[in-house]
Amino acid sequence: MPMLRISYYLLTRKEMYVDLGEDYFDKQRQQSIVRHSLQRLEGLGYSVTLQEPEAS
């Protein structure tokens, strides 16, 4: 059923399909994922220090 909706949407709007990538939703929720992972590790008794990645 989702494929039919996508097809209908693209055909009626005359748009091309654009694949957002496998990590699209992870990128959107990055802060939430980091916060949740930090809480899980601390709950297991780990002491965690976060460091921002260097810009490339």
pLDDT in tens, 26-38: 888 988 999 999 9
CA 32-30-3 angle, to 5 degrees, is: 105
pTM of structure: 0.52
Work out the pLDDT band at 56, boundaries 50, 70, 90. Answer: low
Classify the phi-psi angles of 14: left when phi > 0, otherwise alpha if psi is within -120 to 50, otherwise beta. left
pLDDT of residue 19: 87
